Structure 1
Amino acid sequence: MSKQSKAPAQEKEKKPHKDRDHHKEKEEEKSSNMSIKTILTFVCLGIACCVGYKGYLETRVNTPFDSQKVVTKTGLAVPEIYWGSYRPGTYFGLKTREPYSPVMGLMWYFPSKLGFNGEGIRHWCEQGDNLEHYAWSQHDGKTFGIQNIVDGPVVFRTSFVKRIGGTNGGDWTARIGVYPNGDALEDETISLVFYTAIEPQTNKGKLAPSTFSHITGVVGETKELGKFVVKYHNISGRIVRESYLSVEAKGLQLLKETIVTTLRVVPDKSTGTRHLVLPGDLTQFKEQQMAPNFVATQLEVTVPFEMDVVFESGSFIDRPNTLSGHVYERELLQRADSFHKKFENTFELKKKNFTDEYIDFAKIVFSNLIGGIGYFYGASRVQSEHTQTPVPYWKAPLFTAVPSRSFFPRGFLWDEGFHGLLLASWDLDLELDIMSHWFDLMNIEGWIPREEILGQEALAKVPEEFVTQINSNANPPTFFLTLRYIIQNYIERLTEEDRLGALERLYPRLVAWFDWFNTTQTGPLPGTYRWRGRDAKTNRELNPKTLSSGLDDYPRSSHPTDDERHLDLRCWIMLGAGTLAEIAKLLNRESYKYMDTFAYLFDPKLLDQLHWSEDLQRYADYGRHTDDVALKRPPPPPPPSRPSPQEMVRVVLTEPRDRLVDTTFGYNSLFPFFVHGFSSNSPRLLKMLTDLRNPELLWTKFGLRSLAKKSPLYNQRNTEHDPPYWRGNIWINMNYLALEALNYYRKLEGPYQQRAQDLYVELRENLISNIYSQYVKTGYVWEHYNPKTGKGQGSHPFTGWTSLVVLMMAEKF
């Protein structure tokens, strides 16, 4: 066969190979496309997962903790505390424990002294009102209260009594009495305004004015209260003129402003005088008639004068009589008698030979703490590192005491643990209810906001910069202090079925709370802890504040870093671990985990290794620090510019280095002592007792100062605008912890037992006598006290943790 004849055959043989190659290329292309699609799919899924996870992280800060609520009964289910003086920010106000409760309250003013913008109207507790005194003299937290208010030429006596009955919360009556202060007033009148209001835009009820016994009262109805009436009875005295207001108020925080803007001047032709009156029903003048949410009755009266404000529930159909007049007086006397007996049974001050004057003082201080319990509802504003802007927490109620009715009329987390020591002594169920409300505010991370600003009235009292709560910032876990106190003093009561049930519901949240602290607040080394929230970039503060510690401007390391070790936080965690172990045992749960943590943190060798200064023989924080800092004003720019004076800034004169902050000695240095961290024969205990009594360090005849006189920042301003706060002033909560520790060591056999005993007796006497003497001089107890003079300072009345003086008197630790 010729070559020519073979050629076509060879070409035929090659053609299938070309097809296979082409097919292979197609397959490879297809495979490549699939790979790209697969990759793109996975990329998209990854992006979606990242976006989803980011969204998940964003929502954690305002997602509630996933377990049974601790509060299982509230509102009408607990009728004995349904109504109360739960508006601590007002001089006198009442409401229910419901989210959108009607509020009742009192305002007053002297017509001859009323300012153009309403200056002179008393409503919210304000330090600027400069009242000589206002305080509950008796209050049992449940059934009644008696309060005295001194305002220039008059003395008010406000009281209330509750009566259980019906299905909607029962009745109550408030008596408002106003009397001359000293010499009788001549031709002086005073205007009393008592009101009922409902939060606007909630559609939670209706109000209307109605006349009873020639004085305009209120008829109303809400879902929880049903139908009710508010009546006014003139008990004694002369009413010069009566007027009323029925209107739509724009908010509960604007009730006083509503009164101011609606007052009218009416001449009296018979006397030639003028009267300020309320204009009546303003809703009828609107184009579309609106239902009022604010009804107020004003009585211009001569002094002395007494009236009863009677609230009656429509569901109380078998009411034996009206709670007014002599019936009211008899009920009030009975409640007061029960209060006095219970007070002595609880605190035994007569047995401790206190005079009647001291006992009356103790009753006033205690009554102001329990009478300052408030019920709030609303949503906090919170932020995390995963949210670009603040977001709302979920709406929730809070039942809590407050530090100060004038300056801090809202809930503070670390304050409430100290309040609970006194409240648990009086009424354990009441304290467990308060604690339960706080722990129901826990989010899924185990975090509780350190400051709760719930509702219109609370928000109106807080500067904008303090409203947002950051979820990385802690606050001392003082509820472990409360629980330790309860277990040590009231274990028999705690193991009763209802209370043990509350503890069972609390337990998972206590675990989550402790775990949150023990993970998010850890320091750089094992066994170390660090408060978050310090500003490492500021140049305005001499020493950047540590608000989360509760000790605010107490000096820490001068240059905040992630390598700091904070002594007090370590001790709080140790206290929490020990207390949680005790609770676990009580509930028959595994406790070894917390016992191990407690033992690890209790180890004195580890504590010394991390926080002991051998040079100065004291415990201290660790961080990047220099004492050589000062506040100086920057030099002005050269002419011709004429700027206003620049704010002072911090100047670092010597570069900081990593070291113990041992030149600072104060409350923070005492924390190992506070948590009983020494054996009875420890030389560290001897050193601590010696330093406590040193007048050049913390000792004064008024109590222990917060910072030693020899510390570099003693009594120094933190900025040119911020006076020293925790830099020398005497604080009663820390002094209580010192007394508690001295009480512990004076009962513990050892070589320093007598020294602890002597210090305990002397410090207790100094604290009690100074707080009492300042109360006698000023009419108030105070936020803190001057270490040189003992003078009360800061906000007043401060019947939050300063009320611990009652437990000092009772020697209850």
Structure 2
Amino acid sequence: MARGERKRRSGPPADAPGLRASDKGVQGAMGRRREGRAGMGPGAGSRRGPGGRGAGGRGPGVAALAALGLALGLGLGLGLSWRGILAWQRARRAVTLHPAPPALPPNSSSALAAPDLFWGTYRPHVYFGMKTRSPRAPVTGLMWLQQGAPPGMLGQLRHTCEQGDGMGPYGWELHDGVNFGRQRLHDGSLLLTTEFVKRPGGSHGGDWSWRVTAEPQTPEGSVPPLLSLFFYVATDGQGTLWPDPGTGGQLDGINGHTEELGDFRLILLPPTSAKGTALKHGSYNILWMPSPGLPLLTEAVKNRLNRWFQHRPPGGSPERYLGLPGSPQWEGESPQPGHTVQGQVVVQQLTLKPPFRVELVFESGSVGWGETRPGGRLAGPVLSQALDAHATAFTNRFEETFRLEARGLSSGEQALGRAALSGLLGGIGYFYGQGLVLPDPGDEPEEDPAPTPSLFPPAPLFTAVPSRSFFPRGFLWDEGFHQLLVHQWEPQLTREALGHWLGLLNVDGWIGREQVLGDEARARVPPPFLVQRAAHANPPSLLLPVIRMLDSGDPADLDFLRASFPRLQAWFSWLQQSQAGPVPLSYRWRGRDQAAAGLLNPKTLPSGLDDYPRASHPSTDERHLDLRCWVAFGASVLARLAQKIGETQAEAELADLATKLKDENGLDSLHWAPDLGAFADFGNHTGAVRLARGPQGLVRVVGRPPPRLQHVDALGYVSLFPLLLRLLSPDSPHLGPLLDLLSDSRHLWSPFGLRSLSASSPLYGQRNSEHDPPYWRGAVWFNINYLALGALDHYGRLEGPHQAQASQLHTQLRTNLVGNVWRQYRDTGFLWEQYSDRDGHGMGCRPFHGWTSLVLLAMAEDY
């Protein structure tokens, strides 16, 4: 997972300086005169990829020529240089969508096309909330505040998932990805259980209901503090909301209307005991205001709390509490009937002492209102019955799918498996917005020290996220691993996710590796890391679930792959052309950090293995082993797909490329390092580097011997890629040495899984800069370990001299991995981003229900 642009901190909402729309990019590029020879960048429309099709297709090639002709005439008239004209063209291409037919039908996310997926928990960055799959979706959510802070002070208002908020374990323990979920949130002495269930009907996505149960976790005899729950609904740019006043500050409901939902109503029902008995007395407050923007909603609510309210339970002593205004008074200019306000928010605050439970009901006007709707209102006993039925169905389906109980796994390990799946499904989000892109500078050096990014066209993205607290947005290479598990459970979700990712393809075949779409996503990313560069690739891991789809036998999967093939082919063609290396059939990751004074080893963020040691001095002579293996893997997968759908010309070209890249003699000549006894990168390298204290902090010092072109002396994950992607024959002379490297505790083997860098490496456990601790320098990462399990299982089933060793290593590695993840989950309640190779402890961010959720497939021995 490329974490360089996933800064280990969150930042305030901000727009990147110098932001411009793509149509303003013309003026910006033409205003910067550049002189020198003209050069076409990688991925230009004239290039042809496997299958004989240009990466951009015939249409954009003609359009590019026309645009270039116009630019030439315009540029020469203005005295613009050739270099400036080509820079302008590259800037335009970077933000031009690919013309191939979409992989998904038009309006596939709408309520009419996919009513079962229209509503969902598609706001993974908040503890509990729902929205629709629409660009300007109304959103709903929950905040809470434990009252009782000293006078003049405000306690912790919980809303968005934050890495450092001190929350105890939290996450979905059950979530089916479509209709139902149950989550537990531990907040100090408070346990909140949130549940939701959807019910189909009407033409706008149906109804849904929430149940929130609050339970004190205080010593017996102690009095829990007052608890305030804040339920809100917000429109973003279109639609109206009208609170329906009740008595005592409690609303009878919130009426609303939007273009995609039609008329709807939200009702917060009176609180009850845990058994549903109406015994609780609550205090109510209301806020109705113009939307400040969703990223600012927490602060807006916090700023409107004051201490002018008392909670007066029957027979109890009054207590003061922080409350919102007491009646539904509109804070802005008075809206008139029929007048649309640009975004509104209604918040209903409920305050009382736990234990209690409360229900929020959403009713679609296209179904009817209240008890008259089919099945009655989705509340009380009706809601309890629905929740119980969905929980039972989930548990039964889970065992039928993964068979953990039948495999003899303990009840605790089964609970871990359910949480892994549920956390991943509950972390699926729907995003819409415009990303920031810098074009590929081509072969020319970038002369502008601060080039201005352009805005990519508005686009949706339906994707799982790695971590709700730290990375609540889409990452390209993570998503391929996510969908391995999702497809096993709900293939429709995988087709939707892959179709959305392929919808982000630009005219050259590039997809940005990190997607920051929409104001809420942008608010979580520091401005320097918002921009994607159109020259930078990412591992093509989306092809991992493509294999699953090819093997599934599901006609819907094959139909989707047939529709997706032009885009998959364009994406792969761009990858293998734009990242071509210095010699035939070699490849080089573009975008390595230059040899900055403060970096021990310049990072390679596009590879996904950020600080994994590469050549010490970046150069165009580099040959990256993992990238060559990814391209060989991709060619094989797409050749198989082309054969399946009858694309004979593409099949022949892709199969030919795969054969050449999998040729072991060719691989040896470029990447086998006899001195290491392993495969390796090649580049301008020396091991004589260290960080030393200087006037400005730690700086890199290069000693002797000086760098020279050679194999890079790093043993680790990269060394294993020919094995991980199953490119070696079972009788390969190199398979044995790789298995020995993998199983040697002096190198990669640990009791907790395969470490990312050999314990004997000089850079093992070393920080890369003063403020950059080790990341892929020893820690155990589950995604690579999962690939290793699959490879060992694969070679353990093939006859050959290493069959028995591979099979034995598979069993031992699976035991180590699953056992450690289970122990850490049992002790902390979290899945973690990575695990220590020294003691197994979880490290990095948490909860991390991204590729660590593959522990479920490992338990099921499903590779």
TM-score (norm 2): 0.85
Residues 1:672 and 1:114: Cα distance change in structure 2 (over 3 Å): farther
Shift of 1:281: 5.9
Which residue pairs with 1:639 in the alignment? none
Which residue pairs with 1:518 in the alignment? 576
Which residue pairs with 2:197 in the alignment? 161
Shift of 1:236: 1.2
Pair 1:733-2:766 in alignment: no
Matches within 5 A, 1:423-462: 423-462=486-525
Residues 1:631 and 1:288: Cα distance change in structure 2 (over 3 Å): same
Matching residue within 620, 637, 644 for 1:562: 620
Matching residue within 407, 411, 415 for 1:352: 407
- Greater Rg by CA: 1
Residues 1:544 and 1:119: Cα distance change in structure 2 (over 3 Å): farther
Matches within 5 A, 1:150-549: 150-181=186-217, 183-184=219-220, 185-199=222-236, 202=237, 204-211=238-245, 215-216=250-251, 217-237=253-273, 238-268=280-310, 271=317, 273-280=319-326, 284=330, 286=332, 291=341, 293-317=344-368, 318-385=373-440, 388-488=451-551, 490=552, 492-493=553-554, 496=555, 498-549=556-607
Which residue pairs with 2:276 in the alignment? none
Which residue pairs with 2:66 in the alignment? none
- CA distance in 1 between partners of 2:318 and 2:675 (Å): 82
- CA distance in 2 between partners of 1:269 and 1:83 (Å): 35
- CA distance in 1 between partners of 2:73 and 2:853 (Å): 65
Contact 2:263 2:366 in 1 (8 A): yes
Contact 2:832 2:843 in 1 (8 A): yes
Shift of 1:117: 7.7
Which residue pairs with 2:60 in the alignment? none
Deviating more after overlay: 291-300 vs 552-561: 291-300
Q: Could you give the per-residue CA deviations for residues 584-615 of structure 1, whole angstroms, max 9, x where no partner exists? A: 01111120100000000001011110011111
Matches within 5 A, 1:571-720: 571-590=629-648, 591-635=651-695, 646-654=696-704, 656-720=706-770
Contact 1:283 1:289 in 2 (8 A): no
Q: Alignment RMSD, CA only?
A: 2.1
Shift of 1:712: 1.3
- CA distance in 1 between partners of 2:609 and 2:151 (Å): 39
- CA distance in 2 between partners of 1:656 and 1:194 (Å): 63
Which residue pairs with 2:61 in the alignment? none
Shift of 1:311: 0.2
Q: Could you give the per-residue CA deviations for residues 22-54 of structure 1, whole angstroms, max 9, x where no partner exists? A: xxxxxxxxxxxxxxxxxx999957968957655
Residues 1:596 and 1:260: Cα distance change in structure 2 (over 3 Å): same
Flag as ranges the 4+ runs of structure 1 deviating above 4 A: 40-54, 114-119, 269-272, 280-292
- Structure 2 residue identity aligned to 1:550: G
Contact 1:559 1:656 in 2 (8 A): no
Shift of 1:783: 0.3
Shift of 1:287: 5.7
- Secondary structure, in 3 states, of the residue corresponding to 1:696? coil
- CA distance in 1 between partners of 2:75 and 2:461 (Å): 46
- CA distance in 1 between partners of 2:527 and 2:76 (Å): 41
TM-score (norm 1): 0.90
Structure 1: 5+ residue stretches without partners: 1-39, 636-645
- Secondary structure, in 3 states, of the residue corresponding to 2:418? helix
- CA distance in 2 between partners of 1:532 and 1:659 (Å): 18
- CA distance in 2 between partners of 1:631 and 1:167 (Å): 63
Q: Could you give the per-residue CA deviations for residues 336-391 of structure 1, whole angstroms, max 9, x where no partner exists? A: 11111111111111121111111111101110001110000101011114593111
Greater relative contact order structure (CA < 8 Å, 6+ sep): 2
Residues 1:540 and 1:693: Cα distance change in structure 2 (over 3 Å): same
- Structure 1 residue identity aligned to 2:826: V
Contact 2:182 2:193 in 1 (8 A): yes
Q: Could you give the per-residue CA deviations for residues 221-259 of structure 1, whole angstroms, max 9, x where no partner exists? A: 000000111101124142341111001131100111011
Shift of 1:425: 0.6
Shift of 1:288: 5.8
Shift of 1:684: 0.8
Deviating more after overlay: 262-271 vs 44-53: 44-53
Which residue pairs with 1:124 in the alignment? 160
- Secondary structure, in 3 states, of the residue corresponding to 2:785? helix
- Secondary structure, in 3 states, of the residue corresponding to 1:524? coil
Which residue pairs with 1:19 in the alignment? none
- Structure 2 residue identity aligned to 1:254: L
Between the aligned residues of both structures, percent identity stands at: 43
Contact 1:114 1:121 in 2 (8 A): no
Q: Could you give the per-residue CA deviations for residues 684-721 of structure 1, whole angstroms, max 9, x where no partner exists? A: 11111111110000000100000001111000000011
Residues 1:161 and 1:114: Cα distance change in structure 2 (over 3 Å): farther
Shift of 1:298: 0.6
Shift of 1:128: 1.5
- CA distance in 1 between partners of 2:474 and 2:821 (Å): 24
Contact 2:714 2:758 in 1 (8 A): yes
Which residue pairs with 1:11 in the alignment? none
- Structure 2 residue identity aligned to 1:69: P
Residues 1:682 and 1:213: Cα distance change in structure 2 (over 3 Å): farther
- Secondary structure, in 3 states, of the residue corresponding to 1:179? strand
Contact 2:786 2:858 in 1 (8 A): yes
Which residue pairs with 1:35 in the alignment? none
Between Structure 1 and Structure 2, the one with more helix by share is 1
- Structure 1 residue identity aligned to 2:322: L
Structure 2: 5+ residue stretches without partners: 1-71, 274-279, 442-447
- Structure 2 residue identity aligned to 1:359: Q
Shift of 1:131: 1.5
- Structure 2 residue identity aligned to 1:322: R
- Structure 2 residue identity aligned to 1:572: W
Contact 2:780 2:837 in 1 (8 A): yes
Shift of 1:153: 1.0
Which residue pairs with 1:758 in the alignment? 808
Contact 2:146 2:155 in 1 (8 A): no
- Structure 2 residue identity aligned to 1:499: D
- CA distance in 1 between partners of 2:290 and 2:333 (Å): 14
Pair 1:109-2:160 in alignment: no
- CA distance in 1 between partners of 2:545 and 2:584 (Å): 27
Which residue pairs with 2:67 in the alignment? none
Contact 1:616 1:662 in 2 (8 A): no
- Structure 1 residue identity aligned to 2:607: S
- Secondary structure, in 3 states, of the residue corresponding to 1:234? coil
Matching residue within 115, 118, 122 for 1:79: 115
Shift of 1:55: 3.4
- CA distance in 1 between partners of 2:855 and 2:172 (Å): 16
Shift of 1:535: 2.2
Residues 1:680 and 1:262: Cα distance change in structure 2 (over 3 Å): same
Deviating more after overlay: 397-406 vs 337-346: 337-346
Q: Could you give the per-residue CA deviations for residues 511-563 of structure 1, whole angstroms, max 9, x where no partner exists? A: 10111011100100001000011122411110001000000000000000011
Residue correspondences, number: 756
- Structure 2 residue identity aligned to 1:612: W
Which residue pairs with 1:21 in the alignment? none
- Structure 2 residue identity aligned to 1:758: Q
Contact 1:198 1:252 in 2 (8 A): no
